[in-house]
Homo-oligomer: A and B are copies of this chain.
Amino acid sequence: MNMTNQVDQRSPRTQARIIQILDAATACFVEQGFHGTGMARIAERAGMSAGHIYHYFDSKDAIIAAIVERETSAHETKMREFHLLPCENLKHEMVARAEEGVRTNTDPFRSALSLEIVAEAKRNPDIAERLRRHDVIVRTEFARLLREKLQLDHAEGRVEVLFTLFDGLAIRMLRHPDLDQAGLTRFFRKAILAVLED
């Protein structure tokens, strides 16, 4: 069901190297953007030579593809947890999780990474395709949740608005880095509840 959870055939050392590179690259991309980051800088931060990165990744593009894979994979796992929740009080549980989601998505690092991925998707069709495949999955599953567990009609439209809200946070943080999270969360909750209403 989830190909990314396959047993990794690579040696522990190789896996560690890959994580080193991915972490270094993620940090660089967050700070300076994909195009603003040279392979040399990623290499330096990952503690290896630039040339050696090419033993693990075919190209710079392959690095961001792997980062996207890691992020979307984690996100899908998170989303899947909703299905395990009990039906009763699901709505309030969702609101609680949404509040946690606001905290996560307003984290400067996460929001910056999110934006960087989206920006790269704009000019890299492979990244765009990954993002869309991922979106289909979480969108469909989430709509099914609303339909089956909350007996809501027009689930797709509701999901679009909910996802729009969370997507918007990354840009919001960029425009207003010092926003009052408490004030935001208060009405975020109201908006979500309104979207989840009959």
Task: Spell out A's residues near B (CB within 8 Å).
Answer: 32-33, 35-36, 112, 115-116, 118-119, 121-123, 128, 131-132, 135-136, 139, 154, 156-158, 160-161, 163-172, 174-177, 179-180, 182-184, 186-188, 190-195, 197
Interface residues of chain A: helix, strand, loop or mixed (majority): helix
Residues in B neighbouring A116, C-beta threshold 8 A: 119, 122
Complex alpha-carbon distance, A33 and B127, angstroms: 14
Residues in B neighbouring A190, C-beta threshold 8 A: 161, 194-195, 197
Kindly identify which residue among B128, B167, B187 contacts A160, using a CB–CB cutoff of 8 Å. Answer: B187
Task: Please give the count of copies of this chain that the complex contains.
Answer: 4
Complex alpha-carbon distance, A116 and B171, angstroms: 11
Closest to A193 in B: B194
Q: Are B161 and A187 in contact (CB under 8 A)?
A: yes
Q: Are B191 and A33 in contact (CB under 8 A)?
A: no
Residues in B neighbouring A186, C-beta threshold 8 A: 154, 157
Q: Are B180 and A157 in contact (CB under 8 A)?
A: yes
Residues in B neighbouring A174, C-beta threshold 8 A: 118, 121-122, 128, 131
Closest to A30 in B: B122
Complex alpha-carbon distance, A174 and B131, angstroms: 8
Residues in B neighbouring A35, C-beta threshold 8 A: 35, 123
Report the minimum CB–CB distance from A20 to chain B (whole Å).
Answer: 23
Residues in B neighbouring A131, C-beta threshold 8 A: 174-175
Complex alpha-carbon distance, A140 and B179, angstroms: 12
A-B contacts, 21 of them at CB < 8 A, read A33-B119, A33-B122, A36-B123, A119-B122, A122-B174, A131-B175, A132-B177, A139-B176, A157-B184, A160-B179, A161-B187, A163-B168, A163-B175, A164-B165, A164-B172, A164-B184, A165-B168, A166-B168, A187-B195, A191-B192, A194-B194
